[in-house]
Amino acid sequence: MPGRDRHGDTMNERPSLAEKTQVVVAADPPVKLGNRRWTICALLFFATTINYVDRQVLGLLAPLLQTKIGWNEIQYGYIVTAFQAAYAIGLVLMGQLIDRIGTRIGYAAAISFWSLAAMAHALVRSALGFGVARFALGLGESGNFPAAIKTIAEWFPKKERALATGIFNSGTNIGATIAPLAVPWIAVHLGWQFAFLFTGGFSAVWVVCWLVMYRKPQEHPRLSPAELKHIQSDPVEAAAKIPWLQLFPHSQTWAFTVGKFLTDPIWWFFLFWLPKFLARNHGLSLTGLGLPLIVIYNAATLGSIFGGWLPARLLRIGWTVNRARKTAMLVCAVAVVPIIAAANIRNLWGAVALISLATAAHQGWSANLFTLASDMFPRRAVASVVGIGGCAGAIGGMCIATFTGFLLQLTGSYVPVFILSGSAYLTALLVIQLLAPRLEPASLMAEVVR
């Protein structure tokens, strides 16, 4: 007969340690999160790619159109300024609008409008006409980043937002890479007007996919409970709206806004003036611009992803959000400094190397700067904050466009602009540190309107 222990159980009937372990393992199978949130991130990536193809076309065709249409450097500066002015106005309006109506309808409407404006460039024949078309394009394109950053805040926990932002933001570089490949060929073989028309079809496909696939996480029929729980793993936030004007008294708003004002213009300079710089200083033709610009913007793609990866890695090893975010931004700010010498380098590929490093660093910086908004503000305020900061960045872009136009018309020298570019990021990081030394969340609860 089997013996009994002091509790009266038959000893041979008691489960072994191995059996207990098997029971536990069988009861708690590993949970698969799912990847629906990364599918949403991919849609943001493609929208941003289309966004940058549309805005890059004019910069690539500027040397050709300057001859055909007959504008000078100052007039080209004004055309770029028209885009920036509309972009500034639109960011203020779009951020608030998207917070109000939501990303699904707001994003679809924005991309539809800017695609029509991009195609309208093919109909104009004067500097004034291009100015009007650029104004409309800027108004529509201003919806992209507020909508995308709000989507990231809705679909990703804080620990993944920098990486997700870096991935979708790399679409700016892919768009700026596709454009030098496609636009010169289209302009040479079909005419410059068709270069402004070819993205319309891509935009229509994206809008359909977005409307079919996008819902808020809690409303999405194909999102697994495990992934929804992961997305919502951050502390629960209040659902009430925050008045837009009540964001201004907070130093966190100004930290983000000043950062955008000081550094966004550098990217605008790269985007709209780099083809002209390479054509003027290094004698490149329209078809010769492709390879250098592809190298530059592919480097920027890697920089964007690295800029998102680095703070995520530092967070995983135990760094605070404040320390990880600002360390990544410091690395990027230092990497831009060598571009000061780019205007004086006679060798094409030496200049391309310095510009590539700077564009990569800018995009790494930008991924972290965008993420500051969701670090310091609740989801319901993120698009508004990004809109305010983007408006400031566009105003800075207006300043640098007008300044560069007059500078080149009077002196022909790019040196002052490259010096400004090399020093902007360290200055911006210093201001951010002074205004938001610990990246503390803005205290908005008392100001919520119910």
Half-sphere exposure of 71 (CA within 13 A, CB side): 23
Q: What is the predicted pLDDT for the residue at 445? A: 54
Q: What is the largest CA-CA distance in the chain?
A: 108
Domain membership of residue 398 (yes or no) is yes
Whole-number Å distance between alpha carbons of 188 and 444? 55
Domain membership of residue 152 (yes or no) is yes
Give the pair of three-digit tokens for residue 427: 């200055």
Q: What is the predicted pLDDT for the residue at 68? A: 83
- Residue 4 phi/psi, 5-degree rounding, is -120, 145
CA 247, 252, 325: angle at the middle one, nearest 5? 140
pTM (2 d.p.): 0.74
Q: Which helix (H) or strand (E) element contains residue 344? A: none
The tens digit of pLDDT for each residue in 115-167 reads: 999 999 999 888 899 999 999 999 999 889 889 988 998 999 988 887 898 88
Distances 129 to 132, 182, 393 between C-alpha atoms, Å: 5, 24, 25
Q: Which residues of the chain have pLDDT under 50?
A: 1-2, 4-13, 15-28, 446-450
Q: What is the predicted pLDDT for the residue at 450? A: 38
Domain membership of residue 448 (yes or no) is no
Give the bridge partners for 4, in sequence order. 10
Domain membership of residue 143 (yes or no) is yes
- Residue 63 · residue 286 · CB < 8 Å: yes
Residues contacting residue 297 through CB under 8 Å, at least 6 positions apart: 173, 174, 176, 177, 180, 359
Domain membership of residue 105 (yes or no) is yes
Nearest to 216 by CA among 102, 377, 48: 102
Residue 408 is classified by DSSP as: H
Into how many domains does the chain fold?
1
The tens digit of pLDDT for each residue in 40-96 reads: 999 999 999 999 888 889 888 988 888 888 888 899 999 999 998 998 888 778 877
Domain membership of residue 22 (yes or no) is no
For residue 134, what is the domain's CATH number?
1.20.1250.20
Domain residue limits at 306: 36-217+243-440
Return the exposure string of 233-258: e unless at least 16 CB atoms fall within 10 Å of the residue's CB, then b: eeeeeeeeebebebbeebebbbbbbb
